[in-house]
Amino acid sequence: MKIDAKLKSQTPAFSFEFFPPKNEEGMRTLFDTVAELKELDPTYVSVTYGAGGSTRRLTVELVERIQRETGIDAMAHLTCVGATREEIGGVLSDLKNAGIQNVLALRGDPPKGQEKFERTEGGFGYANELAQFIRDSHDFCIGGACYPEMHPEAASSDADMDALKRKVDAGASVLITQLFFDPNVYLHFVERCRAAGIDVPIIAGIMPVTNIGQVKRFTAMCGASIPGPLLQRLEQTNGEQGEIRKVGVEHAILQCQKLLEAGAPGLHFYTLNRSKATREILQSLR
């Protein structure tokens, strides 16, 4: 089923994001995780698209397999990186033939070693162009990414908002945010989106902290900030792994509670292919 249709009657939505593993062992871990998280009855799950389109085949195979084996609606991420419109059209046809109805239309990051994103000849330069292409050529529910703390390459937050409006006007009917840790950042962003005439559901992207180095790396890359008090609590753990997890999960529970109380239509968990932290958070919310 299409996610935008589901969100009309099933809110708040809970969803989980996975990435295509690199080897057999990773694949086993992923499917164990999927089985454990299925018990939480997610609204949908999504599978990322590797940098440079490197997981094109695997992403299609995984969304198909997860949806077929578990009955959970799956969303395929799709980027413009290194692909012509014909190649992207081919991926969309594969997804359609596999029974997938949901696509997250992304521009993607520049491939390793390349500083700036460059449009492939015959391809797309921005996510709104991809969304338009999908809408014109296929019948998918189209999702889009959004950035409560601004996309790092945007000239300004107003310019980023204009780009987001173009993406929604081009067909994105559901938005999923980049990770963030302060609920007020999300609430302020949603207010700005509504003022800009963006009226589609904005699902909050949640990443429970389980590793300090990793979260610092991710936030530095994507332009998200770690609130001072959270960072302080994490640093007071002196690197003790169990304590870091505890602080991260406690913070995520409070964050999710506030978001749901304020009316967020859904929570999208960046699971990193592990289930434990996400299960603890959802069990506590329910």
Q: Which residues belong to the active site?
A: 17
Tell me the number of residues near ligand FAD by CB under 6 A: 25
Judged by CB under 6 A, the residue of 102, 160, 190, 281 near ligand FAD is 160
Q: Whose CA is closest to 248, among 212, 217, 220?
A: 212
Q: Mark the segment that binds ligand FAD (CB under 6 A) among 67-75, 150-158, 258-266, 272-280.
A: 150-158
Q: Are 176 and 268 in contact (CB under 8 A)?
A: yes
| Residue pair 3/102 in contact by the 8 Å Cβ criterion | yes
Cβ proximity to ligand FAD: between 82 and 90 the closer is 82
- What does the block give as tokens for 2? 């299409």
In this structure, the number of other CB atoms found within 10 A of the CB of residue 22 comes to 11
Locate 261 and state its tokens.
């109380």
For 65, the token pair is: 């397999």
Q: Which residue in this structure is represented by tokens 């207010």?
A: 191
Comparison of 174 and 234: residue with beta carbon closer to ligand FAD: 174
49 binds ligand FAD (CB under 6 A): yes
Piece in contact with ligand FAD (CB under 6 A), picked from 3-11, 101-109, 134-142, 190-198: 101-109
Q: How far is the CB of 256 from ligand FAD (least distance, A)?
A: 16
Closest CB 191 distance from ligand FAD, rounded Å? 19
Q: Which tokens belong to 254?
A: 């409070």
Instruction: Indicate whether 145 belongs to the interface with ligand FAD (CB under 6 A).
Output: yes
Compare residues 183 and 205 and give the one whose CB is closer to ligand FAD: 205
Selected range binding ligand FAD among 120-128, 132-140, 225-233, 246-254, rule: CB under 6 A? 120-128
Check residue 15 for interaction with ligand FAD (CB under 6 A).
no
Task: Report, in angstroms and rounded to the nearest whole number, the Rg of the chain calculated over CA atoms.
Answer: 18
The single residue among 176, 202, 230, 264 that binds ligand FAD, judged by CB under 6 A, is 176
Residue-wise burial string across 94-131, b where 16 or more C-beta atoms lie within 10 A, e elsewhere: bbeebebbbbbbbbbbeeeeeeebeebeebbebbbbbb
CA angle 146, 277, 75 (to 5 degrees): 40
Residue number, 14 or 126, with CB nearest to ligand FAD: 126
Asked whether the beta carbons of 135 and 166 are under 8 A apart, the reply is no
Is residue 77 near ligand FAD by the rule CB under 6 A? yes
Shortest Å, Cβ 242 to ligand FAD: 29
Q: Which of 64, 101, 102, 108 binds ligand FAD (CB under 6 A)?
A: 108
Q: Tell me which stretch binds ligand FAD (CB under 6 A): 3-11, 87-95, 153-161, 239-247.
A: 153-161
- List, in order, residues 6 or more apart from 71 with CB less than 8 Å away: none
Tokens of 184: 């007020």
Non-local (6+) Cβ contacts of 163 within 8 A are 126, 128, 151, 154
Q: What is the DSSP letter of 179?
A: P
Of 3-11, 34-42, 154-162, 190-198, which segment contacts ligand FAD by CB under 6 A?
Answer: 154-162
| Residue 163 within binding range of ligand FAD, rule CB under 6 A | yes
Site residues for ligand FAD per CB under 6 A? 48-49, 51, 77, 79, 104, 106-109, 126-128, 145, 151, 153-154, 159-160, 163, 166-167, 176, 178, 205
